[in-house]
Amino acid sequence: MSFLEIDDLRPERVQRVIDRAIALKSGSVAVPRLLAGQGVALLFEKPSARTRTSTEMAVFSLGGHPIYLRGEEVGLDTRETVEDVTRVLAGYCALIAARTFAHSTLERMVSISNVPVVNLLSDMAHPCQVLADLITMKQHFGDLEGRRIAYIGDGNNVAASLALGCAYTGVEIVVASPDGYQLQEEVVDRVRNIGGNLGLTTEPYEAVRDADVLYTDVWTSMGQEEETAVRRVAFAGFGIDDDLLGAAPDHAIVLHCLPAHRGEEISASVLEGPRSKVWEQAANRMDAFRSLAIELFDDEFRNGKVPSNG
């Protein structure tokens, strides 16, 4: 099976990925050599320090060989079609993980691939990041059910996946965004249809009241650079600074998926402060990916088989 968004897994499997990741990180369970002798294709149309490093180390720790491919090396739909590249990579590798501009690219990969495809980021979703977010919360609080996240900022791909992840784990989420930058209605409907407790507001101070977690992301994502000046104006007042953090409960922690623009969506004092769990959150990306890889090959493990590259 493939993993393009949080709700591609059943809720109980998401919980299992979270709990396994924590166990792997603590050393309470051994890391299986799941990918021994196997390759994993890591295709990056967009660069990322955390995603590349965490996935390469996760594959290595599972005994596999990560193969990093830049977008310009492959030339999706310029040098070769998405489908042709996918067929070739699936012939060499046990898994394909891709960080793409368009979510439709991943869907085309899944339609033709005979090995799992994992979304490392698209314009619509960032599910591996959200697994790391939920792992960080559970590590800190010991539970997820009944917790409350205040997401402050753009209703983007991270916010969409986070809302779905919250719905699957019993976490309430309030998304505070300026007018015109809120979660898409399709995402809101999807979250609420699976029973998610999702609130929407344009008031950051209202959102952080009773919050256990304050979460933010950059105001301008890759591919939106021409909107930077307009977005800085639109998002004024939507940064997590000492004043906004002070309006939250004393036990609240701060998360950010990085990279951070100090002085915009988050202040340096908050990012580097004692309530920031951002660096633990970044480190959990590796544990999230290797736990997910184990889950995707769960049937093969259960039947005593080694995953095949088809």
Annotated catalytic residues are 99, 126, 129, 217, 257, 285
Q: How far apart are the first and last CA of the chain?
A: 13
Is-contact 207 248, C-beta < 8 A?
Answer: no
- Shortest CA distance to 120 belongs to which of 184, 75, 176, 71? 71
φ/ψ of 290, rounded to 5, equals -70, -35
Sequence-distant (6+) residues with CB within 8 A of 10 are none
> Is residue 224 packed enough to be buried (19+ CB in 10 Å), middle (13-18) or exposed (0-12)?
middle
What is the bridge-based pairing of β-strands 172-176 and 198-201?
parallel
Is-contact 96 43, C-beta < 8 A?
Answer: yes
Helix/strand/coil for 115: coil
Q: Other C-beta atoms within 10 Å of 9: how many?
A: 20
Helices of type H across the chain: 11-26, 49-61, 71-74, 82-92, 103-112, 127-141, 157-169, 185-193, 204-208, 228-234, 242-246, 268-271, 278-296, 298-302
φ/ψ of 104, rounded to 5, equals -60, -25
